[in-house]
Amino acid sequence: MTYILSDIHGEYELFCRLLEKVKFSDGDTLISCGDMIEKGKHSIRLTKLLFSMNNAVLLAGNHEYTFLKYYWALMRQTRDYDHVLRKLQAYFPDDGELLDWETVDRIEALPYFYEAEISSAFMQAYRSIKRGIFCHFGTLPPNGLFTTASSRSRKLCRRTASASSSDIRPP
């Protein structure tokens, strides 16, 4: 079974109860159409759970996008990556201490849309859908915001800067 949902908003316990209620299994697929973070008390805990699920397709919503805009602004202001991480952790007052660079990078890498072919069984049940499913949440960000450096080069700068040189600048 494929389950599509959005707006989980850090509600970790509620999300876990939902998975139990629908008897979510390894054979199922979850498509989360964004807004995993903010509002609820366990945004990072929930995000890490979702990232650990091999059968989940995760999309960025407007709340992830807002977080990323804050992150990108911090990265433009300083070379102190430890300071940036502390500010990002403070963004999530209830479980921000769980936030690490791997999670930040995974949030940054989230796609803003997902397309899937529809199975013949699904087509038989829903003949009005002809070509496929397109999942998207919110507004696509303007292209100009994707001119920032790739995660790989930024990670390299973070590692190098924390190791020694103060001359290293974020890309």
Report pLDDT digits (tens) over 30-46.
999 999 999 999 999 99
Q: Is the pTM of this model over 0.85?
A: no
Find out whether 61 and 137 touch, Cβ atoms under 8 Å.
yes
- Is the CB of residue 28 less than 8 Å from the CB of residue 55? yes
Express each pLDDT in 49-85 by its tens digit.
999 999 999 999 999 999 999 999 999 999 999 999 9
Q: Which of 52, 55, 60 is nearest to 24 (CA)?
A: 55
**Residue 100 and residue 25: Cα distance in Å, rounded?**
28
150, two tokens: 């790739």
pLDDT of 13 higher than 90: yes
Alpha carbon separation from 83 to 74, 88, 90, 169 (Å, rounded): 9, 9, 11, 14
Token output for 153? 């080069």
Q: How far apart are CA 119 and CA 14, in angstroms?
A: 30
d(CA 99, CA 78): 19
**Rounded CA separation 15/49 (Å):** 10
Beta bridge partners of 58: 32
